[in-house]
Chains A and B, each alone.
Chain A
Amino acid sequence: MQFSTRAVIDRVKSHYGNTVDAGDVFIVNDPYLGGTHLMDVRFVKPFFYRGEMFAWLANTGHWPDIGGMVPGGFSASATEVEQEGLRLPPVKLWKKGVMDQEILAILMSNMRIADQRIGDIKAQGAALTTGEQRLTALIDRYGASVVKQAIAEMRHRAERQMRARIAAIPDGVYEGTSTVDSDGVVDAPLTIRMKITKRAEDLTCDMTGSSPPCRGPMNSVIATTKSAIYLAIKHVFPEVPINAGTFEPLHIIEPEGTFLYAKYPRPVSGCAAEVSQRIAEAVFAALTKAIPDLLFAAPAGTSGNLGVGGWDPERKRNYIMYLFTGGGYGGFQGGDGLSNGCSTIGISKMQPVEVLEQFYPILFEEFSLREGSGGAGEYRGGFGINYAIRLRRGEARVSMVMDHGRTGPQGVLGGDSGGVNTVQVTQGNTTYKPPHLSKDQDIEIGVGDVVRVQTPGGGGFGDPKKRKREAIARDVARGYYTEAEARAKFGARS
């Protein structure tokens, strides 16, 4: 969010005479101004301590809908950002503590199920008020100058810690690649080429040679591209505290002319949840060559974004169900990957099926471990999940922006890749598979129709033939692999 906060600061300078008032709250979701996809809406509020501007408080909430051509915002075939939803430059939704009813009215007229959104908007604003109260209490206790000193020192220390970690990586140039299935419009893969140069205490990331901007919504804005690299490094060195100092030793050459530096009006709905994870995967693949003991094979790397929008005749209301899912993590030196781990870009987790069934007219027919989906390796990948949703009432439209449908999460050091993502929709007596495998929109379903998804398993780490016999026997005993599968994948005779 530091990029969005910076965009607000620039806006305050250019449009507001560089002044803000206590109680102002900016709302912004413009992807090209430090954002991600349009559904991630940020609120940014100046924080004053005894009349002095001390900091900004900011938060992001994923709104279930922001207008646009499909319920839930994950259009797989948008070719310009206007089709993806309402785009907000930084404007004050609250002015000196009073909500601007005119801006609110515009918002409400441009998204689906607007009456339910007000609950999220107030919650998001209230969270910032809570932050104000707690931060004021903290500063009251220690004094503004001591807290400022601590902030500067924390930043300094985080930078030093990160530099020490980087210094331990052998100097050199390390390359990794990853592939996005397709952009949803043109059925051809997109490639990310990541070249990481390590010298002394600094890392430089160069994505030159990656695919050019694409027609469909799998472009990434620069803020998301940078954040994806930051988070990948944070995954590698999780013990380093996170603040601006953490990323001082990281240098990113802006990938002009590629799909990783989308400019207006390129569509971007896949950037935050999907392309960002492919970028992280390319960073992991590159660094595996430098420091394999600290790395891991690729995780599932798709958020499995699924939007179901429809009409519930029993409750007489429209609804939008948006959900994301977990998948297998990659094997690592000393252990197998986690099964059904949350997507690597955050801590968002799938909502409980019981809650979804209560809110929406659907039934989960299956929610299970996807056995066999972990890539084979000395340390195997974790497993993805299988789920199936049956529509119970009314009719609905289904859209999805997922990935890893064409190739599974890559294995490393001789490990196999994890199982690919699959989607299948049963409509009456026929079965439909999206031509782009992991992306589609406006699939119509009626009562009894079923959406069936398998999420990817993680990649394997190291030569499968080196896997310990007892570990293979345990996996077979638990039903993760059949004996025949274990023989084929691990060369085992159990």
Chain B
Amino acid sequence: MSTNLDPVTLTVIQNGLIQVCNEMDLAFVRSAFSPVISEGMDRSDGIYDAIDGSLIAQG
């Protein structure tokens, strides 16, 4: 444990990152043409690490 972050800030940022993904999901679904995406929601959006591509957050 080497963080100075208080738990509230940590939780707010965690949910903020998930919210970024959720808004990508929404933008995609609301503007896609094909029903498989706009209605079936067969899509996914996420944020990944700059160096190794590991998962940071997903909607």
Contact = CB atoms under 8 A, between A and B. Distances in A.
B55 A131 contact: no
A442 to B, nearest CB: 20
Interface string B5-37: 100011001101101110111111011111111
Nearest to A60: B44
B47 to A, nearest CB: 5
B29 to A, nearest CB: 8
Contacts of B31: 119, 122-123, 126-127
A131 B47 contact: yes
Interface of A is mostly: helix
A242 B5 CA distance: 20
Contacts of B35: 351, 355-356, 359
Contact of A147 (B13, B21, B58): B13
B40 to A, nearest CB: 5
A244 B55 contact: yes
Contacts of B33: 116-120, 123
A60 B43 contact: yes
A55 B21 contact: no
A433 interface: no
Interface in A141-163: 142, 146-147, 149-156
Contacts, number: 181
Interface in A34-87: 46-47, 53-64
Given A150-B9, A243-B55, A55 B28 contact: no
Chain B: number of interface residues, binned into ranges? 35 or more
Nearest to B51: A9
A64 to B, nearest CB: 5
Given A61-B32, A61-B37, A131 B45 contact: yes
Contacts of B43: 59-62, 124
A131 B17 contact: no
B13 to A, nearest CB: 4
Nearest to B3: A153
A147 B21 CA distance: 15
A6 interface: yes
Given A9-B53, A127-B24, A130-B27, A351 B44 contact: no
Contacts of B13: 138, 142, 146-147, 150
A55 to B, nearest CB: 5
Interface string A320-345: 00111000000000000000000000
A244 B54 contact: yes
Contacts of A351: 35-36, 39-40
A474 interface: no
Q: Please indicate which of the listed interface residues B3, B33, B34 has the most CB atoms of chain A within 10 Å of its own CB.
A: B34
Contacts of A348: 40-42
A138 B12 CA distance: 10
Given A131-B45, A150-B5, A243-B55, A62 B24 contact: no
Contact of B25 (A118, A127, A153, A324): A127
A165 interface: no
Contacts of A128: 24
A352 interface: yes
A5 B53 contact: yes
A327 to B, nearest CB: 15
Nearest to A351: B39
Contacts of A391: none
A1 interface: yes
Given A117-B33, A323-B36, A355-B35, 16 more contacts: A5-B48, A9-B52, A9-B53, A59-B28, A59-B46, A119-B31, A119-B32, A126-B27, A126-B28, A127-B25, A127-B28, A243-B54, A244-B56, A322-B36, A324-B40, A349-B40
Interface of A: 1-3, 5-6, 8-9, 46-47, 53-64, 116-120, 122-124, 126-131, 134-135, 138, 142, 146-147, 149-156, 241-244, 322-324, 346-352, 355-356, 359
Interface of B: 1, 3-5, 9-10, 13-14, 16-17, 19-21, 23-28, 30-37, 39-58
15 contacts: A2-B54, A6-B53, A55-B49, A57-B47, A58-B47, A59-B43, A59-B46, A123-B32, A128-B24, A150-B9, A242-B55, A243-B54, A243-B57, A323-B40, A351-B35
